[in-house]
Amino acid sequence: MYRHIFGKLTLIIVFIPILHIVGFYYARFHPSFFRPGGLNRNLAAGADYSYTDYLERIFLNGDFGHVGGADMVDLVSKPFFNSLFLIILAILFTAIGGVLLGFLAVSPREMHIRPLGLLLTSAGASIPGFLLGGVVIAIIVYQTLYGGLKQTWLPMSGCGQQYPLPFSSCGFDKHLILPLTVLAVRPMLHVARVTAGLLESELHKNYIRTARSKGARWIRIYWTHAMRNILAPIIILLGQSLRFIVGGLLIAELMFFWPGIGRFFVYAIVANENLRGQFRFFAHPELIATLAVLMGAIILVADLIASLAAHLADPRLREHL
Amino acid sequence: MPRNYPLMIGLLLVTLFFLVAVFGSWVAPHDPAHRFTDVIQANDRTYIPSVTPIPPLVLDFFPLGTDHVGRDLLTRLLWAVRPTLITCFGVVLARLLIGLPLGIVAGWFRGRPAGRGIQILSSALIAIPPLILAIALIALSPGRPLAIFILVLGLIGWTDIATFYQNQTEILKKQGFVESAYALGSSTPGILWRHILPQFWTTLPTILAFELSATLLLMAELGFLGLFIGDGLIVYGADPNSAGVIAIGRTSDFPELGQMLSDFTRKMFQSPWEMVMSATTIFLMVFGFNMLGDGLRRRKRVLG
């Protein structure tokens, strides 16, 4: 157990500097730097320095760099917490909704996945995140164009400030609904599908038959007998689905103008119509290095938490370490 | 309902999309790259497809409407299935060619340097979100040819196949027939080729179906972020506020489902139906492949 945690911590300590270096040199060797007349403004503005210079500035002056005159820490800190908040909410929705739907999809009488449950979870796990968001936006656009309403029924962009959250610039209100739909629906139904499969195979084991013949109610069989055995794989699956949530963050933030780091990431890497005058972010070495570290930190820490939780949930996993 | 209805639904959808991929360009009513500039009167409104896109079901001439630069959407959808499917098959083939040998080697030489090396590589790749890795690598290429997509998506996505076949190989290695093959004097490569590899052909279609659906979703997300196959072109139109011209959208003559999802912010207010229809097509394809994989898996369990 402790060896496992130690290994994961070492991984974090090793990977963070590697991500910083890779992010920095990714931007420095981006082809658009070398294209004549290309987007090489960062280079033209006297940004021709090496990684050691950057490290020196970080450790001697505590200066993480500037993007278009703004200090890196000021620029990134609030968006980071906005994104982190969105990710945590999405993971919560994925976990709770996925497990509940997975349990509902298995019929307690026949101990098999209901046909409808299989169909719905499979269909839901195939929906690209932006399809749902696109449909809602299309409805809102039609409603405002032809319906003659003054206000849309869901806010389409930005974030609210009504019930402010700690550290971030956003609040907890209905601005969250659309980004969360894009982020959480597909992972949630994926988790539901896998949970239903695991539960179905678990319900055919002998100890379940014993519990049934004793006369235990199905809800007790599900929650106290079967749940303990399938909890560890579900937690590991949740850790994996976080990768897709972090990937979907780019799309959700771009789609609904959520002020987070995912949008910066797209502006910094993709040079096309998504930029919309955000050229100061494009291929900026310091920004890409910082974003790579932040995103990597989210994923690595979540991985650590997931494996810890899995080991707490299932004693059998502890013996193998 | 038949017992194995996922297989039925999957086969139906996949066959449909294969037919569209093969014959779609023949039955398409228009030229996919032609921008209609005629003035059209319908339902007391005046449309010029290249300026004000026509919504679906307004004109029989454009059953699904036109896209944001005035091309027929149905034609483009019919044309777009083929390149998207070809790309996905290329990517899955690349993943298989990388993942299957590495998985077998990692499973056979588990704990030894070769196996450990492959395992470290695949766990490092698993840790990074595939979408982020894919956009970071594809954005480096200015022209974004088909080969870059196949190479990048193949190189970052082989881990699922490798992990699956690694576990299978570990199970098979303990079986009696491997030991007898050793006793009869076979070499390790001979056993892997003659006795281990043929065991995998039954699971291969299932794996391929799931990989195809995952690749399609990744392609759709890349397309949404503006990373589609081939270089784009910027379409200009008359500026309503001045005498000059402005950029209407960045698009490509070459129809492809990922490309049809791109340039989202402009399409969303001009032609939201285009985004919804292309995303629905992608969804149906992904759903078909998922159902096919599920059905194949069930069928094998039934057959034992």
Count other Cβ atoms within 10 Å, centred on residue A121: 27
Nearest to B140 among A30, A126, A129 (CB): A30
Residue linked to tokens 């299309």? A138
The backbone region for B144, taken as left when phi is positive above 0, alpha when psi lies in -120 to 50, beta otherwise, is left
Q: What is the pLDDT of residues A270-300, one digit of tens each?
A: 765 545 556 677 778 888 889 999 999 998 8
Q: What is the DSSP letter of B69?
A: T
Is the pTM higher than 0.95?
Answer: no
Radius of gyration (C-alpha) of chain B in whole angstroms: 24
Strands A106-107 and B45-47: unpaired
Q: What is the pLDDT of residues A120-166, one digit of tens each?
A: 888 888 988 888 888 888 888 777 777 777 677 777 777 777 777 77
pLDDT score of A25 more than 90 = no
Q: With CA atoms as reference, report the closest residue to B222 among B148, B297, B116, B122.
A: B148
Choosing among B68, B212, B264, B289, which should be mutated to test the A contact, i.e. which has the most A CBs within 10 A? B264
Min Cα distance A7 → chain B (Å) is 13
| Contacting B residues, span 273-292, partner chain A, CB-CB under 8 Å | 273, 275-276, 279-280, 282-283, 286-287, 290-291
CB contact under 8 A, A299 and B268: no
Cα(B40)–Cα(A104) distance, integer angstroms: 52
**What is the ipTM metric for this complex?**
0.86
Chains A and B form CB pairs within 8 A to the count of: 130
- The distance from CA B15 to its chain's CA centroid, rounded to whole angstroms, is 16
Q: What is the DSSP letter of B72?
A: B
Tell me whether B96 touches chain A (CB under 8 Å): no
Strands, E assignment, chain A: 66-67, 70-71, 106-107, 112-113
Q: With beta carbons less than 8 A apart as the criterion, state whether A167 and A78 touch.
A: yes
pLDDT at position B101 is 92
- The distance from CA A217 to its chain's CA centroid, rounded to whole angstroms, is 37
The backbone region for A215, taken as left when phi is positive above 0, alpha when psi lies in -120 to 50, beta otherwise, is left
Q: With beta carbons less than 8 A apart as the criterion, state whether B252 and B117 touch.
A: no
Q: What is the pLDDT of residues A160-190, one digit of tens each?
A: 777 777 777 777 778 888 889 889 999 999 9
Nearest to A31 among B140, B227, B276 (CB): B140
The backbone region for A3, taken as left when phi is positive above 0, alpha when psi lies in -120 to 50, beta otherwise, is alpha
Which chain B residues contact residue A244 at CB under 8 A? Answer: 129, 131
- The distance from CA A222 to its chain's CA centroid, rounded to whole angstroms, is 29
- Kindly tell me the burial class for residue B245, based on how many C-beta atoms sit within 10 Å of its own C-beta (0-12, 13-18, 19 or more): exposed
Q: With beta carbons less than 8 A apart as the criterion, state whether A272 and B226 touch.
A: yes
| CA dihedral for B56, B59, B62, B67, sign (positive or negative) | negative
